Structure 1
Amino acid sequence: MPETPDQNYDVVINGASVAGCTAAILHARRGARVALLERRSGMDAHKVLCTHYIQASAHPVMAELGLAEELDGVGAIRNSADYWTRWGWIRPEARTGPGVLPHGYSVRRQTLDPLLRRRAAATPGVDLKLGHTVNELLTDDGRVTGVAGTTADGGFALRARLVVGADGKDSTVARLAGAPAETSENNRFSYFAYFRGVPHPEGRACARVYYLDDDNAYVMPNEDGVTVIAAVLSKTRLDDFRNDIEGAYEDFVRSLPDGPDIDKAERISKVIGTLNYPLISRRPHGPGYALIGDAALTSDPLSAVGCAWAMQSASWLADATASALTGTEELDAALGAYARRHATETSAHHHLIADYAKVRPFNEVEAYTFEAAARDARMAEHFHLFGSRLMTVEEFLAPDIVAHAEKVNGWSLSEETLRSLAAGPEGEVR
C-alpha cells in the first residue's frame, strides 16, 4: 500500500475507550503525534460490561486530564462504599463523614466513553480515526512498526515508533504480537441491571458491596438517579439462572441483607451479564509495542479496578516513554521501565484478586482484617484505602496495623501466617 506523510505517527493506539483515550491525550500533551483508532464508527459507542466504579487511585489521572471537573458537571457520583460482611457492616465514612476520604467516580459508560472520546478528539496532536479495524501488525526485523487494517472505504496502513494495544481483554494487538499471557479461571458469573429511583439508606449515594461467602453483590449509585445492581455468583448457582434469568436475578437481589428495595424502583434495562470472564495477565510490552488497560491486565470485575487501572496504566506508559518518543532516549528501555512500574503497582493486588476469584472461603488474613474493619473505624478507613488501590499489600498488612487489629478482634494471626506476611506477598512474574 503506498504511504503518504500523514500516515506516519509517533504513537498509534488501537482502541478509543478509557485506556486508549487517556493514553492519546497524555502522549499528545507530551509532544507526540498520535493516531487513535476505534473499530466502532459511532462517537457515542460505549462498553456495556462494566462495574461503573472508578477507584480513587485514578483520581490524579482524572485531575490531570481535566476529567474530574467534567464528571462533576455531568452529575457523576463521588464514590464511596459500605461493605456487608458476616461480622457486620464495614463503614469507612463512619468517623470522617461523607466526602472526606479519597474518592473516585461512579458513572455509566454511556456517559464516560463519549466524554473521553470527545476530549481526546479535541486534543491537539491526536487524530481520532473511527471505523478503523486493525487486523495486521507491520513489522521490521521482528519489531512492530505500525498497523494495517480496513475501513468502510478500504484498507489503511499507519506507521509509528510505538503501537499501543488499548483494545480490551481480547486485544488484537496482543494476539498479533504474540504477547505472553497467563490466564486464571474466574469461578463466578455476573448479571446486572439499571434501576431508577432506588431508595438509598439515609439518602446517601453510597455504594454497597456484599461479601456473602461464595456469592457477592454490589449496588452502585450513578449519575441521573440511576443505580447499577449486580449479582456476582458462584458458578455452582448457574442452574438457578438457566430457565429464568430475570426472575433468579431479582430473587437474589431481594434476598440481600439490608438490600435495595427494587420493588419501589423502576428497572430501566434488561438484565445484562456474562457467564465466563477469565482473568488475563499479559506481558505489557515487546519490541515496538505496549499494552494498557484490559489488554495488559484483565482482572475480576468484582474488584472494580478495570477503569482505574486503564487510566493509570495509560499514564504510566506516557510518563515512561515521553522522552523516547520526542527525544533521544532509547524506546525499549523506556518500555521496560513501564513494564516494571505496571508490575509494581498491580501484580500483588491482582494476585489476591485472582485467588479470591477461585470462590474459596476467606483465608485467615481476610477474616482477620474484615472482622477488624467491621468493628473499628480506623480499620474501616484502612480497608477503604486498600480497596481503592491507594496502598500496597505490604502497607495494608504493616506491623502496626496487624497489632491494632489484634486489639480490636481479641485474637491473633497464626505464627505461620505472620511468617508468610513477613516474607511479603506473592506477585506475578511479568
Structure 2
Amino acid sequence: MATPESAVQDYDVVISGAGLAGSAAAILLARRGARVALLERRSDPEAYKVLCTHSLTACAYPVLDELGLIPALEKAGAVRNAARWHTRWGWIEPRSAPAGPELPYGYNIRRSTLDPLIRSHAAQTPGVDLLLGHQVTGLVRDAGRTVGVRASSPQGEREIRARLVVGADGKDSAVAKLAEVPARRYENGRFGYLAHFRDLPLPGGVSHAWFLEPDMAYAFPNDDGVTVLAVLPDKKRLPAFREDLEGSFAAFVRALPEAPPIDAAERITKITGMVDYPLHTRKPTAPGIALIGDAALTGDPLWGVGCGWALQSAHWLTEATAAAATGRGDLDRSLALYARRHRRRLTGHQLLAVDFARSRPFNPVERLMFSAATLDASLARHMHLFGSRLIGPLRFLNPLALAKASVVNIKHLRATAPPTRS
C-alpha cells in the first residue's frame, strides 16, 4: 500500500538512529534515489556506542565494500579479524587451505573510530540530511499506518513525514515501542565485563575466544594498538565478582589458557559491565515501519555478531524497499519481502544463541564438531565460516560435516588408544 496521497512528504524515509545500521541504511537508500532524514538523539557527531564487541564479522564485508568504507577502515587501522578458539580439546585455529584462497575476514575496530566514520560518510551522501540532537517522541499515523515521526530537538518539537519510518535505535528502540511491536525476550545466563588494554600481545596477533563451558572470554585486537578484553562468566559467579570487580576480572583473565599478559599491559578504560543482557527478537516490520540492527534482533554479545547483522539488515532493507520508498512500488509487499529475508537469514542463528545463552556446557553435537575442528584443518575452516556467519546452522551441521567430524574423532581415538596386550 502506498502512503495516502493526502499526506505531505518531507522525505521518502526517516531513520531513527545514526549508528551503524541507521547510517548504512541512509547511505544505501539515498544512493538509490531516496530522500532520507537520519535522526540521531545525541548532538555530538563523534558519539559512539560503548558496550560492544567492536567486531565486524566477515558476513558484513560485502556491505562494507558496497558502502565504500574498506579503504577508510584500513586507513583507520582496523584489524582483519582472524581468530583462534580454545576448547577443552585444544585450540581451533582456522587457516587457509594450501594453495587455496584467503579465509574470508571482517574487521575489528573500536566504535569510537567506526561510528563517527560511518556517520560522517552518511552526512556527506547526497540525499541524506543528518539531524543531530533529534529524538523520536511519537509516531504520525494516517489510516492505520505510520507516515512519519514527531521528534524533539534543541529547537523544539517538529513533525517529519515520510513513506517509510526505520527504527535503527537499538535494543530499547523507541520506534518499536511507540509502534507497539511486541518483543520476545530470552534470558541470558551469563553476565559480562569488558575493558580496553593497550600493548596487550596475543599469539599471532589474532582474536582469541575461550569456551570454558559454561564461562566464556574473548580478546579482540583493534585499531591503534588497543585490545578489547571481555569475560562472560555464568551468572552464579556474579555476587563474588561484584565484591571485588577489578580483582575478579584480573583473576579470571590470568586463569585463561595462554592468558593475555594483562599485568604488563596498560588498561585505558574502566571495566564496563553487562550484568543483565537478555536477547530480544521482534517482528522486523509493521505498517509503514521497518526495524534494523538491534531494534529487530539483539543477539548474545559473546558471539560478536551484532555489528555485522546491523549492516546486513540495513542492506536487506534497502534491496527490498528502495523502489517502494521512492514511490515506485508497493511498500507493504516490499516490507514483507524484507521481513521474510530477515527471518530466513537470522532466525536459526538466534535460536542457537538463545539455547547457548542458558549458560550450559556443549551438547553432544557441539562436542563432536568442536573437538574434531581442533584436529582437522578443513573442519576448522568450516567452523570459521559459521563463526563469521557466512553459513547458517543447517549448512554448518549438514550430514557430510557431521560424518567427517565423526571419522576424524574415531581415527584420533584409535591413534591415541593404548596398545592392547596380546
TM-score over 0.5 (shorter chain)? yes
1:387-412 Cα shifts (integer Å, max 9, x gaps): 1000121111222211211110119x
1:303-322 Cα shifts (integer Å, max 9, x gaps): 11100000000000000001
**Distance in structure 1 (CA, Å) of the matches to 2:303 and 2:393:** 15
**Distance in structure 2 (CA, Å) of the matches to 1:12 and 1:67:** 23
SS of the equivalent of 2:48 reads coil
SS of the equivalent of 1:389 reads coil
1:279-306 Cα shifts (integer Å, max 9, x gaps): 0000000100000000000000011110
Using a 3 Å threshold, how does the CA distance of structure 1 residues 55 and 155 change in structure 2: closer, same or farther? same
1:167-206 equivalences in 2 (<5 Å): 167-201=169-203, 204-206=204-206
1:81-230 equivalences in 2 (<5 Å): 81-93=83-95, 95=97, 100-201=102-203, 204-230=204-230
Deviation of 1:326 after TM superposition, in Å, equals: 2.4
**Distance in structure 2 (CA, Å) of the matches to 1:73 and 1:99:** 24
- Indicate the residue corresponding to 2:259 in structure 1: 259
- Indicate the residue corresponding to 1:342 in structure 2: 342
SS of the equivalent of 1:375 reads coil
**Distance in structure 1 (CA, Å) of the matches to 2:206 and 2:297:** 28
- Indicate the residue corresponding to 2:286 in structure 1: 286
**Distance in structure 1 (CA, Å) of the matches to 2:250 and 2:205:** 21
Deviation of 1:97 after TM superposition, in Å, equals: 10
- Indicate the residue corresponding to 2:313 in structure 1: 313
SS of the equivalent of 2:158 reads strand
Deviation of 1:340 after TM superposition, in Å, equals: 0.3
1:393 lines up with 2:406 in the alignment: no
1:157-204 Cα shifts (integer Å, max 9, x gaps): 100000000000000000000112211001111001111111222xx2
1:92-117 Cα shifts (integer Å, max 9, x gaps): 02755999200000000000000000
2:145–2:287 Cα contact (<8 Å) kept: yes
**Distance in structure 1 (CA, Å) of the matches to 2:390 and 2:241:** 36
Using a 3 Å threshold, how does the CA distance of structure 1 residues 96 and 57 change in structure 2: closer, same or farther? farther
Match of 1:71 among 70, 73, 80: 73
Q: How many percent of aligned residue pairs carry the same amino acid?
A: 55
**Distance in structure 2 (CA, Å) of the matches to 1:96 and 1:180:** 49
Residue ranges of structure 1 left out of the alignment (5+ in a row): 412-430
**Distance in structure 2 (CA, Å) of the matches to 1:247 and 1:94:** 39
- Indicate the residue corresponding to 1:423 in structure 2: none
1:7–1:157 Cα contact (<8 Å) kept: no
**Distance in structure 1 (CA, Å) of the matches to 2:249 and 2:215:** 12
Q: Structure 2: which amino acid aligns with 1:38? A: E
1:27-42 equivalences in 2 (<5 Å): 27-42=29-44
- Indicate the residue corresponding to 1:363 in structure 2: 363
SS of the equivalent of 2:318 reads helix
- Indicate the residue corresponding to 1:414 in structure 2: none
TM-score of the aligned structures, taking structure 1 as reference length: 0.92
1:63-109 Cα shifts (integer Å, max 9, x gaps): 00011111001110011110000010000027559992000000000
**Distance in structure 1 (CA, Å) of the matches to 2:282 and 2:221:** 32
**Distance in structure 1 (CA, Å) of the matches to 2:378 and 2:93:** 10
**Distance in structure 1 (CA, Å) of the matches to 2:131 and 2:101:** 39
Q: Structure 1: which amino acid aligns with 2:389? A: R
Q: Structure 2: which amino acid aligns with 1:181? A: A
Deviation of 1:328 after TM superposition, in Å, equals: 2.9
**Distance in structure 1 (CA, Å) of the matches to 2:265 and 2:303:** 26
- Indicate the residue corresponding to 1:415 in structure 2: none
SS of the equivalent of 1:58 reads helix
Using a 3 Å threshold, how does the CA distance of structure 1 residues 246 and 107 change in structure 2: closer, same or farther? same
Q: Which moved more, 1:280-289 or 1:233-242?
A: 233-242
**Distance in structure 2 (CA, Å) of the matches to 1:157 and 1:214:** 49
**Distance in structure 2 (CA, Å) of the matches to 1:306 and 1:6:** 36
TM-score of the aligned structures, taking structure 2 as reference length: 0.94
2:8–2:161 Cα contact (<8 Å) kept: no
SS of the equivalent of 1:257 reads coil
SS of the equivalent of 1:51 reads coil
1:12–1:164 Cα contact (<8 Å) kept: yes
- Indicate the residue corresponding to 1:354 in structure 2: 354
1:9 lines up with 2:16 in the alignment: no
- Indicate the residue corresponding to 1:421 in structure 2: none
**Distance in structure 2 (CA, Å) of the matches to 1:41 and 1:280:** 27
**Distance in structure 2 (CA, Å) of the matches to 1:99 and 1:271:** 39
SS of the equivalent of 2:175 reads helix
1:77–1:205 Cα contact (<8 Å) kept: no
SS of the equivalent of 2:205 reads coil
- Indicate the residue corresponding to 2:53 in structure 1: 51
Q: Which moved more, 1:385-394 or 1:334-343?
A: 385-394
Deviation of 1:205 after TM superposition, in Å, equals: 2.1
SS of the equivalent of 1:410 reads helix
**Distance in structure 2 (CA, Å) of the matches to 1:96 and 1:238:** 45
1:11–1:35 Cα contact (<8 Å) kept: yes
- Indicate the residue corresponding to 2:416 in structure 1: none
SS of the equivalent of 1:338 reads helix
Using a 3 Å threshold, how does the CA distance of structure 1 residues 96 and 352 change in structure 2: closer, same or farther? farther
**Distance in structure 1 (CA, Å) of the matches to 2:123 and 2:223:** 24
Give structure 1 regions of 4+ aligned residues with deviation exceeding 2 angstroms: 94-99
**Distance in structure 2 (CA, Å) of the matches to 1:103 and 1:406:** 28
